[in-house]
Structure formats: C-alpha cells, structure tokens
Structure 1
C-alpha cells in the first residue's frame, strides 16, 4: 500500500510502526453547529482509508475526537440560554446520525475534550518543566515556539513580518509573536475549568496531542501513531502546533504519515461560513439519499479540492443507479464469498493512495460486463455467483450498494405514503389470489397514481419511485 504524505509531499510505501497494526487519529468536529459538507468529506475520506487498510488485513485502531470545549460552543449556549452539555450532546448526536446516513462507520475511539483534561494538564506541565512553555502575568500558559528548533518543519511555512506584527498586537504577554496558548485564563465569569494553572480553558491545539498520548500512542516507537489526518486547512496552525507539543513533551514525534483531504467548494467558491455558503449536510440529506452523497463526495481523489454542484451530483447518482440496477437484477440470489480478479484489481487501485478514479472505472466495467453477459446468458450461474461476490466486496470496501435495491429507488417517498403503497400491494396480492382481476387492476392503478412503478417478481411484488 502507498499513501501520499502531506509533509514529505510525495507518495510513500505504507509501513506500519508495528507489523500488522495501524493507529489512525483524525481531527473531529467542534460540536456547536450542524455538520457541513466539509465535515462530511473528511469523515468519508478517513472511513474509506480505514476500510482499505482493513481490507489489506491490517488491524486498525481508529480514533476521532469530539471538541466539546470551545468559545463558539459557549457563545451558542449563551445565545440559546442552555448549558454547555445540552448544546454539545445535541450536536454530537446530530453528527452521529448524519454520518450513519452517509455510511460512515463509528471510530473505535471517540475521546471528548471534557473527558481528557487531566491528560492536557500533564502535557502542559511537561512542557513547562522542560522549558518549552511559560505562564504569563495574566495567567495564560503559552508554548514557546522559539524553544523548538523544528517548529514550522511540518508545514514548511515562513511567517512574514505582517503576520508577526498582527500576532504581537493580539497579545502583548507573549515572548514570541508565534507562541500559541496551551491554557487560557478566564476571568469574565463564563465557563471555566479548574487546573493547576488556574481557572480557564485549554487551547484548541492541545487537546489532540494530549488525547493521542493518552489513548493511542505507542510508548517505544519513534512516532506516537502511524497516521494523523484531517482537512487541508488544519496543516497550519493546528497540526503544526500539535506536532510541536508532542515532540517537546515526549521522546517521539507525533505521526509517521500525515494525510490531508482537500477543500469543498460550492459552485466553484470555497466553502466558508463567512461567505454564507456553508452547505449544511442535513439540507443535502433532505434532497438526496445518504449513499448518493457518499458516492458523490468520494468520486474525486481525496487530495483534490471538491467542487460541489447539483449537475455533477445528478450525474454521480446515475452512475450509482447502474450499480443498484445490477443488484436489483440479481435480487434474491444467495450471497457469495468467491474470490475474483475484480476484487484484487479494486483493492490494488484503492491501495494506491485511494485511487478512486481507477476504482470507479473498474466498477463501471464490471457492471457493464455483467449486464451484457446476463443479457446473452441469463442463466449463467458462475457469472451470477462472481457478480454477487463482487457486489458484496464493493459494499465492504467502498460502502456502495449497501441498501435493498428496491428501497434505494424509493427515496423521496415519505413514510406515510410508503405504508399506503405497501397496504395497497397487499390488497392487490389478495385480489390476484382470489382471481379478482378487476379489483387487482384497479388497485394497481391506485398504486401507480403515487408516481411509482410496480415489479412483480418470483420473490414478491416491489415498487420504486419513477
């Protein structure tokens, strides 16, 4: 397997720190608002990476944190006159539900900032004791970037004078303009946490470093974990600062491989809340099946910036529809675990830095070949068995084709209407049994009036939205 390392800026052979095992940490959401398409893209990319690693017979421990301490959360709580936990629990649950609809598997570990304060205190103290951090007159604790000779080595960033000046003006208590907060003293009566450094709140960069050391880090390897991931916007300053904290408070570096997914653009413009174009995932899920969004958001290479637009989304849906048409064609056949060349080729493509274009091309070819062969040899048992195995493998590794094929084509019909249609189908079936064909035909017309079409098969009667 090969992965592109964001720091070395090249594709590297993937060699785990411990043979057969992989530790993966991804920066998760700050739970103060609904998830947007950027959250979805990142979650999907690392869900796919985890699936591919496991398909390569690697034992993966995947951690994704929940940031539930943040100024934005406190602001939201004040605005809504709610306590912090009510806000964070609500948006955490909403995030989980939406990720479930996208087919994103839950991480093995999901540490929360509020549950890991002791680990943060321990890391801050180590940094103070080793001379890499200092406490200011107003009670803040800062990381001393000048004490770290490797600072900025991750992002290869060079700070210009204007940037430095802006930082100086923002806090006159820092030793260096680039120093960042490990602990922020709070004296305005808002939410605080008691610590050995006084009442306050942890710096955002601190939590990931501390939680990695607490829950995931190897103790006797040159790197704490195998892979650290997140959106491209996190490389600086977030990941840069995380790496510095870990490097200076322990005897190892943070991650052997750094993986970052590209930005999401909406209609060609970078998604940003300041621009008012932060497309909430919940709104997209009202219009499209979660698996359609999964297929679309994964349809371009993870490192590329993604241009979200409805025309491409519709075209992507038609591509996924073809897979489901094939699945529907084979509906009712026994499952198969047969090994095929297609499966080997698919895994080889995905093992090459998640080459999704090659993978989707292979799926298109397999689907077309299966349909053509079934058209000319409808009772071809070997082909059917191989195709069923291939569909199961696609479902396992890519998360495509997981639904009942008939239910997939019912998206957009509300639950009440579905119940009415199912009831009418039962009545029609009874009428057919009693050879009351006049009633059967009348009931069929009533069903079709809902904008659906019927399919009578040996496995039963099914319907889908036209």
Structure 2
C-alpha cells in the first residue's frame, strides 16, 4: 500500500515495522464542546485507512485519545460551574455518539490524559534527566535547542512560528513549550502541583501503550505544527528514536470557502450536519474528497451526495433478502487497488458507481439469476466493510426524516389502506394514498406488502 508521508513529503510504500501488524495512533478531540466537522473528517479519513488495511490482511492496533485536561476545559468549568469530570464525560459521550452515527469504528484503546498522569510525569522526568528541560515560574519547559531535528517534520522556518496559547516571555526561545503547568488546584508531581501540557500527553501515552516506535501517527493538518512537531522532538530527546515511522495528515475543513474556525464563527458541528442528512450520508460526503485535500462544506453538496448514496441503497433494496457469496474478483481488486494508492477515494467511488449501474442492467436482463444476485450482494457487503457505508436497513434508509410518532401514524395509515383494498373500497384506499403523499410519503405495493419511503425535496 502507498501512503503519503508528511515528514518525507512524498508517497511511500507502507512497510510495517513488525511483520503484518500495523500500529496507528490518531490524535483525538479536546473534550470541552461538541465535535465539529474537522473532527469528523479526521476520524473518517483514518477509519477508512484502518478498514483498508484490514481488508488487505493486516492486523491493526488503533489508538485514539481524548484530551480531558486543558485550558479550554478549565475555562468551561468556570463558565458552567461544573467539574472537570462532568464536562469531559458529557462531551466524550457526545463524541462517541457522533462517531457511531458516522460508522467510525471504536478504537482498540481510547486513552484519556488524566488516566496517564504517571506516564506523563515519567516522560518529563526522562527529559529532565537528559537535560532537555528547564524551570520557570509557571512550569517546566522543553528546550527545543536540544533537538537538532526540530522543525524537520513540519518544515517550518523560525520566523513562521505561531504559539497555540499566550507565550511566556521568559522562555529561552519562542519555540520552547510547557511540559508541566504549575497549578495548586491539580495533581502532585516531583516538580510541584500542576497539570500536563498538551504536547506531552500523546507522546507519553504512545510510549506507555506501544512501548516503541509506531508505524503511523495521524491527525488533522492543524496538528502538524506545533503539536506533532513537539511530540516528535520530545521522543528524540527522551529516547533517541523517532516517535513514528510515518506521519499522515488530513486536510482542513472549510465552510463557505473559509477555513473552519471558532474564532471566525463558522465552526460547524457534526450534530448540525446530522440534523440535515443521515450519518452515513455525512460520512459519504466527507469521505468523497481525498483525505489530504482541503474540503469545502456545503449543504447543497451534502444533499447531492446523499442522492449518490441513495443509488447504492436502491440496489441493496432491490436485493433485499439475498444471501451473499464471498466477495472476490475484479470489482474487489479494483477497489483495493484504488484505495491502496494513498486512499484514492475518487477512483474507488467511480468504480462503485460503475458496478451499481452494471448490476442494475444485469438484473433487468436476468431478474431470477440467483448467482448474479449473490455476487452483487457480496460486492455490497465488501463496500460496507471497507468504506463504512450501507450499514442501514435498506427500507429504513429511505424513511429518514420522520420521528417515531410520525412513523407510527404512517404505519396506521398504511394498515387502513390495506384494509380498504381488502374490502375493495378503492376510493378510500386512494384517498389514504393521497394523505400519505401530503405527509411526504411515497408508497409502493410489492409482493411482500406495501413499502414506503420519504419523498426527498431540496
């Protein structure tokens, strides 16, 4: 498989460090607010990577963290009068719910920074022992001058440095960053009471969980500098090795052609997108652009993307109840070939569109061909496992947009229509159909009874 290595700035062949096993660490959210589309794009991108690697036969250990101690969380505590645990537990649960809606697989391990304080402290002690730290009034700092390769990952120049938070003027260099912030309200440590800096938690957790250099460290392009740069520097100074063999980064999300940013007031939450379209449609939409490309979110494009996904669901609906054979052959290979080229999703989706069109044509010609149906269903199951779509019931998919009370009303009307037809009261049956249409419901009579779906309008 070919992937784009951010550090090398080129595509390379992925060769696992340990036989057929691949270790991946993805930087997760800071849990002080609802997850936004940037979180969704990153999660979907590397969920796709994980699924493709599994389809190729690799054993994947996948870790994604939660930052649950941070200045932003502390500010939320002050503004809401809630505890750290109340805030972080609530938003972790919200994040997990959003990921489930997007069919993002659970990570094998989902570490929280507060559960790895001993590992973080030990890491700082190791850096201190190696002469890579110094102490100021407000905390323990990392001395970037001790890392000869600092800025080699991001390729930045000194004049392009931008601090994530307000800088301490007493630092030896603008590049230096805090490892442990002194704060009497928090945790005991050999340095004094305080809490960890953002850049140390991930590198400490990677060391604790994997104990060695990992195959892939991934995250959003916004994390390349300073977060990932600073992680890599700490690892080199602590253990004289590289933190990751390869680095991967997904592109920025834009809303109305502007970079998504809370400071700009255009940060679009996942929950907002889910209020417009089903989670799988949101996934399909965000996945439809290459993971490294910047993505411009547009509601009209989201709805158009749902229509494209609808066509695949129409085929699944046409094959309802068919038992699948084993996925193999030209179609499966063409998808894996495309996705093995640095997750070339455009080619993969084009191949899927071709398969769907050809499948419908073949089914029109041979509607009773069981072997044909079984093969097509196998292809759909392969798409499900590899791309993370087609999880929904093929009939319920087309009923999205109605709540349970509305669905109950619709089912009662369909039952009344069936009874009217049975009594040969076709006038009443037609009136009920008209009422269903007025509710935005299309009804289809099939050999297995009446089926219904929502009439979608833009």
Check whether TM > 0.5.
yes
Of residues 312, 321, 328, the one that matches 1:339 is 328
Task: State the partner residue of 1:214.
Answer: 208
- Cα distance in 2, alignment partners of residues 446 and 313 from structure 1: 29
Q: Is the 8 A contact 1:25 1:62 kept in 2?
A: yes
Task: State the partner residue of 2:168.
Answer: 171
Task: State the partner residue of 1:375.
Answer: 364
- Cα distance in 1, alignment partners of residues 42 and 152 from structure 2: 24
- Cα distance in 2, alignment partners of residues 438 and 268 from structure 1: 53
- Cα distance in 2, alignment partners of residues 163 and 464 from structure 1: 54
Task: State the partner residue of 2:412.
Answer: 423
- Cα distance in 1, alignment partners of residues 89 and 227 from structure 2: 24
User: Are 2:407 and 1:410 equivalent residues in the alignment?
Assistant: no
- Cα distance in 2, alignment partners of residues 308 and 235 from structure 1: 22
- Cα distance in 1, alignment partners of residues 443 and 402 from structure 2: 15
Q: Is the 8 A contact 1:338 1:385 kept in 2?
A: no
- Cα distance in 2, alignment partners of residues 13 and 324 from structure 1: 34
TM-score (normalised: structure 1): 0.93
Secondary structure in structure 2 of the residue aligned to 1:142:
strand
User: Are 2:272 and 1:283 equivalent residues in the alignment?
Assistant: yes
User: Are 2:182 and 1:194 equivalent residues in the alignment?
Assistant: no
Of residues 376, 379, 402, the one that matches 1:387 is 376
User: Are 2:219 and 1:230 equivalent residues in the alignment?
Assistant: yes
Please, what is the CA RMSD of the aligned residues? 1.9
Deviation digits for residues 312-356 of structure 1 (CA, Å, limit 9, x no counterpart): 222212211111111111112223324231011101111110000
User: Are 2:142 and 1:153 equivalent residues in the alignment?
Assistant: no
Secondary structure in structure 2 of the residue aligned to 1:258:
strand
Task: State the partner residue of 2:310.
Answer: 321
Task: State the partner residue of 2:198.
Answer: 204
- Cα distance in 2, alignment partners of residues 227 and 459 from structure 1: 50
Secondary structure in structure 1 of the residue aligned to 2:376:
helix
- Cα distance in 2, alignment partners of residues 340 and 444 from structure 1: 45
> C-alpha displacement at 1:157, in angstroms?
1.4
Secondary structure in structure 2 of the residue aligned to 1:17:
coil
Q: Is the 8 A contact 2:277 2:306 kept in 1?
A: no
User: Are 2:22 and 1:22 equivalent residues in the alignment?
Assistant: yes
User: Are 2:52 and 1:52 equivalent residues in the alignment?
Assistant: yes
- Cα distance in 1, alignment partners of residues 59 and 194 from structure 2: 39
Deviation digits for residues 429-449 of structure 1 (CA, Å, limit 9, x no counterpart): 455556665654454444333
- Cα distance in 2, alignment partners of residues 42 and 139 from structure 1: 33
- Cα distance in 1, alignment partners of residues 113 and 293 from structure 2: 30
Secondary structure in structure 2 of the residue aligned to 1:260:
strand
Unmatched 5+ stretches in structure 2: none
Secondary structure in structure 2 of the residue aligned to 1:192:
strand
TM-score (normalised: structure 2): 0.95
User: Are 2:64 and 1:64 equivalent residues in the alignment?
Assistant: yes
Larger deviation, residues 437-446 vs 255-264: 437-446
- Cα distance in 2, alignment partners of residues 43 and 163 from structure 1: 27
Task: State the partner residue of 1:78.
Answer: 78
Secondary structure in structure 1 of the residue aligned to 2:52:
helix
Deviation digits for residues 203-255 of structure 1 (CA, Å, limit 9, x no counterpart): 1000000000011233xxxxx10000000111111000000111111242100
- Cα distance in 2, alignment partners of residues 198 and 436 from structure 1: 83
> C-alpha displacement at 1:419, in angstroms?
1.3
Q: Within 5 Å, which residues of 2 pair with 1:221-370?
A: 224-370=213-359
Secondary structure in structure 1 of the residue aligned to 2:78:
helix
- Cα distance in 2, alignment partners of residues 347 and 377 from structure 1: 28
- Cα distance in 2, alignment partners of residues 96 and 163 from structure 1: 34
User: Are 2:85 and 1:88 equivalent residues in the alignment?
Assistant: no
Cα distance change, pair 452–61 in 1 and its aligned pair in 2 (3 A): same
Larger deviation, residues 203-212 vs 382-391: 382-391
Task: State the partner residue of 2:446.
Answer: 457
Unmatched 5+ stretches in structure 1: 219-223
> C-alpha displacement at 1:383, in angstroms?
2.2
Which consecutive aligned stretches of 4+ in structure 1 deviate over 6 angstroms post-superposition? none
How many residues align? The count is 454
